[in-house]
Amino acid sequence: MTPAARLSAAIEILTDIETRRRPAADALKDWGLSHRFAGSGDRAALAGLVYDMLRRRASSRWLMEAETPRATLIGMLVLQRGETLESLAGLFNGERFAPEPLTTEEQTALASRKLADAAPDIQADVPHWLWTSFEAAFGADAVKEGQALAERAPVDLRVNTLKASREKLLAELEPLHATATPLSAWGLRVPLGPDGRSPAVQAEESFQKGWFEIQDEGSQLAGMIAAARPGEQVLDLCAGGGGKTLEFAAAMDNKGQIFATDSDKRRLAPIHERLSRAGARNVQVRTPRGALLIEDLDGHMDMVLVDAPCSGSGTWRRNPDAKWRLRPSSLADRQKDQAAVLKAGAKAVKPGGRLVFVTCSVLPEENDASVQAFLADHSDFTPAPLQVLAKAAGFSGFARFASSQGLGLQLSPNRSGTDGFFVTVLHRA
């Protein structure tokens, strides 16, 4: 496919996403199945175009004064990829498979409108109805945070210390230009390719050997703050595919016991293969059968991790379509889910133990507010001081990571160079 033909296809795919209100991954997959002439390079380039259009949807449409997929593409090419009127003319030329030439109105918009004149939520590419919450989370840095969440994310890896050291893995992945992550002592960062594509790290022999897992540095830091120790009894209540379970197994050096479960057994499906590859031997997976099978653990756990259901706003760099599909009703539903899972997790914590609450959200309603509601009903739990949380992760200047109400640490692309994560540790008396 020519570069111009890819632009036409990107407009077609975004139209499908918005018309049918479906996830971008589904639309891209269906397009590829119905256009088998497109090679892997074409499909990757199209995915990059579509996700970048979604990242900059609000700002692009404001710039172009139009609410269409075509306007989104043109605006994104200018704002995200640095195209000019002259370079766009070579792509939008109306020739075979290419988009139609720029209209007079489109040229005028590009020549006259400056993003700095737009409202803050437009500049930040954050849904308008969420802006008040976003400002509450980040104050004067809200626009910068939104813009950082509209950028592409790097590929972060966590070394599996059961099988390798970071130094050993850095040497193994030198051809990928891997570097040590700035905050996590277990992390490596692999840059994106020149075309914005993620490197195929899962094809590396070291991955097949279990030397590392793909895990954002922010998620690694959340696990470090939880501080699972050898010999402890740990419950990962929302384990999903097992990312933090694997991190705990390595931190505990396979000593002690980890119970991993999830309310949706489909999310647990990948965990068995990952545990085997990683050499994690102290994990008991409890697959639910209509209900969570954890009653026998009540009052016995040194640490319970609640990696809670949330909006996923902290992962907008990786899932940009999610922010435009989020609705107030779904946000309220996630808050109810959080209250329920926190209540269940609290029962399992033994006296003197700790409940670790984590979200991949940057919204105060899902973070500080959920903690406040929990503490109002559980007077025997007390949040750990921020200094203690920061020290566990090796942070200096912890105040810049404080959440809006000071009940936990708030990581974000602009603050910490990671995905958005909220973490707090609640100690039981």
Q: What is the mean pLDDT of each run of 10 residues along the chain (429 residues)?
A: 94 95 94 90 92 97 97 96 93 92 96 96 97 96 97 96 97 96 95 82 96 97 95 96 97 97 92 96 90 88 97 96 92 93 96 98 97 97 92 81 94 96 97
Q: Tokens 């803050």 appear where?
A: 120
Q: Which residues pair with 188 in a beta bridge?
A: 157, 180
156 burial class (0-12, 13-18, 19+ CB within 10 angstroms)? buried
Residue linked to tokens 């594509």:
197
Cα separation, 14 vs 27, whole angstroms: 8
Count of C-beta atoms within a 10 Å radius of residue 39: 10
Q: Please tell me the CATH superfamily of domain 217-428, with its number.
A: Vaccinia Virus protein VP39 (3.40.50.150)
5, 122, 360, 386: the active-site residue = 360
Give the pLDDT of residue 193: 79
Output the CA–CA distances (angstroms, integers) from residue 262 to 249, 336, 374, 425, in the order listed: 17, 17, 20, 20
Tokens of 75: 């605006």
| CA triple 171-173-188, angle to 5 deg | 95
Q: Looking at beta carbons, which pairs linking 10-15 to residues 24 or more positions away fall under 8 Å?
A: 10/46, 10/49, 10/50, 10/53, 10/69, 10/73, 11/69, 11/70, 11/73, 11/99, 13/46, 13/50, 14/50, 14/53, 14/54, 14/69, 14/72, 14/73, 15/69
pLDDT for 408: 95
Cα–Cα distance measured from residue 246 to residue 425, given in angstroms and rounded to the nearest whole number: 20
Alpha-helical regions (H) of 349-424 = 368-377, 386-392, 413-416
Q: What is the pLDDT of residue 392?
A: 81
Residues annotated within the binding site for S-adenosyl-L-methionine are 262, 307
| Of 386, 374, 396, residue with least CA distance to 422 | 386
Asked if 35 and 9 count as a contact pair (C-beta separation under 8 A), the reply is: yes
- The DSSP 8-state label assigned to residue 95 in this structure reads S
Per-residue model confidence (pLDDT) at position 390: 87
Which residues are CB-contacts of 205 (< 8 A; sequence separation ≥ 6)?
none
pLDDT tens digits for range 225-239: 999 999 999 999 999
- For residue 257, the surrounding DSSP H or E stretch is strand 257-261
**pLDDT (0 to 100) of residue 198:** 85
pLDDT of residue 405: 93
pLDDT number for residue 87: 94
Q: What is the pLDDT of residue 398?
A: 81
**Which residues in the chain are classed under CATH 3.40.50.150?**
217-428
CA dist 44 and 196 (Å) reads: 9
155-214: CATH superfamily: Sun protein; domain 3 (3.30.70.1170)
C-alpha separations of 161 from 155, 185, 360 in Å: 19, 11, 24
Cα maximum dimension of the chain: 72
**What is the spatial distance between Cα 210 and Cα 246, in angstroms, rounded to a whole number?**
11
Instruction: Write the pLDDT tens digit of every residue in 42-71.
Output: 999 999 999 999 999 999 999 999 999 999
Q: Is 310 an active-site residue?
A: no
CA distances from 224 to 87, 227, 396 (A): 47, 5, 15
Neighbouring-strand partners of residue 108: none
